[in-house]
Amino acid sequence: MIESNNDCLENLYFSALANRAAFPALRRAAYQCTLQLIMSYRSAVKRLMEVSPLADHVDLKDHYIAFIELRSFGIEEDLQNTMECIKGEDISVKMLKDTVQVALVQQSEYLRRFGLVFCDSVRYESNIT
């Protein structure tokens, strides 16, 4: 009997989370914060490339997703306009997952680039043999 009650509660939770109308303010806040994280990581990667350049074969812009248009990931560039137009009910779980995935990849890219700042073997072309 306890298991059936747990199953019933679990089904209610899953159906509530799958419902687009559930928790619209939370969805909107999570989406907005995730977009802000993406923008911050993109800006930080660009800044690292300016203040601490590496050898050309390591530091090509083509190597970083920070230089790919956000539209390629289904995200609009104009964050303020996007947040004014979008409602919490419009944000699906898939949309949140996809946006979080982009944020995690951006974070990984930033941490990789930050770590390379401390690696002398990739700092200058003259060190390459």
Q: What is the 3-state secondary structure (H, E, C) of the chain?
A: CHHHHHHHHHHHHHHHHHCCCCCHHHHHHHHHHHHHHHHHHHHHHHHHHHHCCCCCCCCCHHHCHHHCCHHHHCCCCCHHHHHHHCCHHHCCHHHHHHHHHHHHHHHHHHHHHHHHCCCHHHCCHHHCC
Decide if pLDDT at 77 tops 70.
yes
Tokens 């289904």 belong to 74
pLDDT of residue 71: 87
pLDDT of residue 91: 83
Task: Give the torsion sign (CA, 71, 103, 39, 83).
Answer: positive
Averaged pLDDT, 64-78:
85
pLDDT of residue 4: 66
Q: Which amino acid is at 20?
A: R
Averaged pLDDT, 71-83:
78
pLDDT of residue 42: 94
Give the confidence band of 16 by pLDDT, cuts at 50, 70, 90: low
Higher pLDDT, 1 or 27: 27
pLDDT of residue 106: 96
Q: Beta-carbon neighbour count of residue 46 at 10 Å? A: 14
